[in-house]
Amino acid sequence: MFEAQEINAEHKDLIHDVAYDYYGDRMATCSSDQYVKVWDHNKDGKWTETSSFKAHSGSVWKVTWAHPEFGQVLATCSFDRTAAVWEEIVGDTPGPGERGTRHWVRRTNLVDSRTSVTDIKFGPKIQGLQLATCSAEGIIRIYEAPDVMNLSQWTLQHEVQCKLACSCLSWNPSLSKMQPQMLAVGSDDANPANGGKVFIYEYSENTRRWTKLETISSITEPVNDISFAPNLGRSFHLLAVATKDVRILHLTPVEDVQSIQSGLTKLEVESVAQFEDHNSTVWRVCWNITGTILATSGDDGCVRMFKMNYIKSWKPVAVLKGDGSHVTSEPQKTAQAIPSGLQMPPLSQTARYFKLGSISQPRDVPWH
């Protein structure tokens, strides 16, 4: 059981993104004040700010951690049209948490974009040290560090043209080298006439190019976030999309003669759940480590969690307010009709969530 505590971020403007490292004991935040702050979870169970540095000359939209196999490495992207890679240097003098003094060094600045860089993600570690960015000009860029010991050298490997402005992206985190690299990209284009706003790309070893596999035509609203679920032995991929509501998609690879000849995966796309529980814009979607629980946040100031039950029907399982308190009066809904003769099991009354911290600046919007 954890004791609730306050985290004062001391950002001077809106917080745009929060990212945990691989082990969950470090956290990075970024905001419109152009700063990135790093927090450590100490032995007393409290979050302590250990670093604060100005990362860009414009609003910092996203921050993300590399796998710890490559060291303590962060990547950021900004309205100033750049993306940056940062590495933590730890000195010998003891500091907070007894890890020595530390500071973050900018190893490289990626300046290929001509417009705002809206999202940035490290690729699966099995593919080496790769970095994907997307921008408002509708271009996805894939970078690679040829030498993981020299983070100042990054090579632009691919530029993929997307017909619409890009707002978010997600790598398929498959751990199998038999599975081709796959990216999902979302667009915040507000014109429904422009068609689907979610695109699936795959890298072909034969052509050494990224090719669009699918356009999800059922999603025509602006997309704010997108996330592949960890794939632990499933025969299909799970994709969560944050738009005006929450969407969960199944992407099932289908083998046929055409896909074998082209060397590209053919996907069967199925929308398995759609939730309007937020009754407002949904900003973030995030999976747990097994890909069995989806957490979402929206303009209603709540974090909502959804889980698939034994009959493969998704349902809400928890609601948390921004202050950490529970919402118990809302009726539970399911995303799909339950077959006749089957009863929904009662929700567990033993599961509880505890507030670990909050961002207390009055102008911050922590649920974003």
CA distances from 312 to 60, 200, 253 (A): 39, 24, 19
pLDDT of residue 255: 77
pLDDT of residue 234: 85
- Report pTM: 0.83
Q: How many CB atoms neighbour CB 212 within 10 A?
A: 16
The pair of three-digit structure tokens given for residue 32, joined into one six-digit string: 């419109």
**Tally of CA atoms within 13 A in the half-sphere of 62 that contains its CB:** 26
Q: CA-to-CA distance for 54 and 34, rounded, in angstroms?
A: 6
Q: CA-to-CA distance for 35 and 349, rounded, in angstroms?
A: 41
Q: Where are the alpha helices (DSSP H) in the chain?
A: 257-262
Amino acid identity of residue 264, one-letter, is: L
**Tally of CA atoms within 13 A in the half-sphere of 267 that contains its CB:** 22
Which positions ≥6 away from 305 have C-beta within 8 Å? 293, 294, 295, 296, 316, 317, 318, 319
| Domain 1-161, CATH homologous superfamily name and number | YVTN repeat-like/Quinoprotein amine dehydrogenase (2.130.10.10)
pLDDT per residue, tens digit, the chain (368 aa), is 333 445 554 666 789 999 999 998 999 999 999 999 999 998 888 899 999 999 999 999 999 999 999 999 999 999 999 999 999 998 765 545 455 678 999 999 999 999 999 999 999 998 899 999 999 999 999 999 999 999 999 999 999 999 899 999 999 998 776 788 999 999 999 999 999 999 999 998 888 899 999 999 999 999 999 999 998 788 899 999 999 999 999 999 887 756 556 678 889 999 999 999 999 999 999 999 889 999 999 999 999 999 998 888 999 999 998 777 777 655 555 454 434 444 444 444 445 556 666 655 544 444 33
pLDDT of residue 12: 65
pLDDT of residue 312: 82
Q: CA-CA-CA-CA torsion for 271, 277, 283, 286, nearest 10 degrees?
A: -60
pLDDT of residue 239: 97
pLDDT of residue 4: 40
What residue spans define the domains of the chain? 1-161
Please state the φ and ψ torsions of residue 68, each to the nearest 5 degrees.
Answer: -60, -15
pLDDT of residue 40: 93
